[in-house]
Amino acid sequence: MLFNSIEFLVFFFFVFGVYWMLNNDLKKQNLFLLISSYVFYAWWDWRFLSIIILSSFIDYTAGAKIFSTKTKKGRKTWLMVSLIANLGFLSIFKYYNFFAESFSDFMNIFGWQPGNLTLNIILPVGISFYTFQTLSYTIDIYRKEFEPTKDITAFFTFIAFFPQLVAGPIERASNLLPQIEKKRVFIKEKFNEGVIQILIGLFRKIVIADSLAAYVDSIYGNIELHNSSTIVLATFLYAFQIYYDFSGYSDIAIGTAKLLGFRFNPNFNLPYFSTSLTEFWRKWHMSLSFWLRDYLYISLGGNRKGIKITYRNLMLTMLLGGLWHGSSWNFIIWGGIHGAVLSAEKYLNATNFLSSVRKIRIFGYLVTFVVVLVSWVFFRAQTFDSAIFAIQKIFSSDYHLPFIGNTNTVVNSLVVLLIGILFDLFLFNKKIKLEDLGTNFSPLKIAIIGTIIIVLINLFYSTSNNFIYFQF
């Protein structure tokens, strides 16, 4: 069930109505929210429900045991139960075949052919997201930063809450669980904010991202047939396709949660307006980048053990962050590029070089965007060989007029992209947070904006394309 589908619209109207009718009974309301979330998840494949239910039960138990156990060894044992169970599920479903294929390829170098070690495994949708979400609960309890809940329905709802179940944002228990455990109140201003953010999210996804996808997919589907300028144009458009696709999903998720009385943390903050890669990661997929910082980078030692260890921790964090996105060498290299540049920035910061360069802001914007753009090649390319071919072309002299194909498709893509960039530029210059945009809008203004966006969505809507981050 996609956010950009008629099925979800019907589903949400029903959930919204019944949910607020049950507002006088918090337990019934949460139980209804949990059942609705399971229905939403089962829409893809009901068999995957068993994994998320089992994972929820393990972490509910582990959290209680970590809190009640007095010895450090006992608390660590229950934390390991949570880590092994959740990362075990993730490793089997997402990474087993990748490591099996890599092992076979490595053994072939020495003349040993171990045969086909892969399994016919389907990746459960959203497993990367809810795994990190539930792990934050047990880790925070182990660190004595959060106390476990005694309400099992509230906890299961925290894990399965449908607006952010499939592709985030990755909400911490400290933020979302207390909201589930207390009575929600319908607030008109929050409703307005939610409606505006949902409409903008749908616009970003259907009008901008899906329009750009038509050209990007045609080029990257047969990348070996195209010259340097064509690949650069397709990569440039992909940078905005993935941004508007994923930020659009996050907008819909955050807006939907607001309509139900919840407030999520923001997940994007105009990341392409960044003067360094460090700043980029404070604005891009913020729930993941902060998760990696707090639970991986800091756990490895952060910057507390000397500069060399800091570089190592940055590289390991970004390599594992790349692997989190997908089980292929492309994603590992993508993470490695970001790790290397982040390490370089930290070194240059220590020499005060970057502080002087940042005064020339346009230089910082351009360099950061170019680094991100080059790394996107590995993220988008279908194979490692295709990525290498694209990189070689980009840094070659084979620059001629780019292949355009369907002129209407390209013109439409550039027009809607310009609309999106101008809107982001408006938010950036006015220092307006998208989450708060609809606060002071009158019903008439919301109706006008909503009508314009809905008309544009209907003009561009053709098929319900999956969100890019569903594959992770």
pLDDT of residue 46: 83
Burial label for 240, CB within 10 Å (0-12, 13-18, 19+), is buried
Catalytic status, residue 325 = yes
Of 383, 284, 391, which is closest to residue 342 (Cα–Cα)?
284
Angle CA 409–249–240, to nearest 5: 40
Please give the pLDDT value at position 392.
92
Residues 337 and 353 sit within 8 Å (Cβ to Cβ) = no
DSSP alpha helices (H): ranges in 69-92?
A: 72-90
One-letter amino acid of 175:
N
Tens of pLDDT, residues 331-373: 999 999 999 999 988 888 777 666 666 667 788 889 999 999 9
Which SS3 state, helix, strand or coil, does residue 439 take? coil
Residue 95 DSSP code:
I
Res. 285: pLDDT tops 90: yes
Per-residue pLDDT reduced to its tens digit, 105-159: 666 766 676 766 666 777 788 888 899 999 999 999 999 999 999 999 999 999 9
Higher per-residue pLDDT: 39 or 44: 39
Q: What is the 3-state secondary structure (H, E, C) of 243-283?
A: HHHHHHHHHHHHHHHHHCCCCCCCCCCCCCCCCCHHHHHCC
How much is the pLDDT for 472? 59
Domain ranges of the chain: 6-184, 189-275+358-471
| Range 71-90 average pLDDT | 93
Mapped onto helix, strand or coil, the DSSP state of residue 238 is helix
Supply φ then ψ for residue 218, to 5 degrees. Answer: -65, -35
How far apart CA 52 and CA 367 sit, in angstroms, is 42
Tell which residue, 263, 339, 345, has the closest CA to residue 296: 339
Instruction: State the residue for tokens 């939403």.
Output: 40
Cα 389 to Cα 87, 234, 349, 397: the distances in Å are 34, 14, 33, 14
State the DSSP string of 129-188.
HHHHHHHHHHHHHHTTSSPPPS-HHHHHHHHH-GGGTTT-----HHHHHHHHHS-----H
Q: What is the pLDDT of residues 419-466, one digit of tens each?
A: 999 999 998 998 888 877 777 677 777 777 777 777 766 666 665 566
Mean pLDDT of the region 80-103: 83
Distance CA 178, CA 264 (A): 12
What is the rounded (10 degree) CA torsion for 178, 249, 380, 347?
-50
pLDDT band at 278 (very low <50, low <70, confident <90, very high): very high
d(CA 78, CA 75): 5
In the numeric block, the tokens 């071919």 are attached to 389
Share of the chain above pLDDT 70, in %: 90
In this model, does residue 188 exceed pLDDT 60? yes
Which tokens sit at 238? 């992909």
Q: Give the C-alpha distances (Å, rounded to integers) separating 195 from 76, 178, 192, 295, 328.
A: 44, 24, 5, 33, 38
Tokens at 231, concatenated:
């690949």
User: Which tens digit of pLDDT belongs to each residue from 297-316?
Assistant: 998 888 887 788 888 999 99
DSSP string, 183-224: -----HHHHHHHHHHHHHHHIIIIIIIHHHHHHHHHHHTTGG
> Do residues 211 and 437 make contact, with C-beta atoms less than 8 angstroms apart?
no
The pLDDT of 48-74, averaged and rounded, is 93
The whole-number pLDDT of residue 437 equals 79
pLDDT band of 103, cuts 50, 70, 90: low
294 burial via Cβ count (<10 Å: 0-12, 13-18, 19+): middle
Instruction: Name residue, tokens 């906890």.
Output: 155
- Reading the block at residue 273, the tokens are 């307006």
- Going by C-alpha positions, the residue among 280, 372, 328, 339 that lies closest to residue 471 is 328
What pLDDT does residue 1 have?
72
Cα angle 78, 83, 86; round to 5:
120
First-to-last C-alpha distance (Å) of the chain: 16
- Which tops the pLDDT comparison, 57 or 4? 57
pLDDT above 90: residue 254? yes
Enumerate residues 6+ apart whose C-beta is below 8 A from 441: 192, 196, 449
- Contact between 346 and 310 under an 8 Å Cβ cutoff? The reply is yes
User: Is it the case that residue 168 has pLDDT exceeding 90?
Assistant: no
CA distance 147 to 63: 8
Q: Compute φ and ψ for 282, nearest 5 degrees.
A: -85, -10
Whole-prediction pTM value?
A: 0.89
> What does the CA dihedral 78, 327, 287, 418 come to, rounded to 10 degrees?
-170
pLDDT bucket at 237, cuts 50 / 70 / 90: very high
Task: Tell me: pLDDT of 471 over 70.
Answer: no
CA 349 – CA 194 distance, rounded (Å): 39
Q: Choosing from 226, 325, 338, 400, which is the catalytic residue?
A: 325
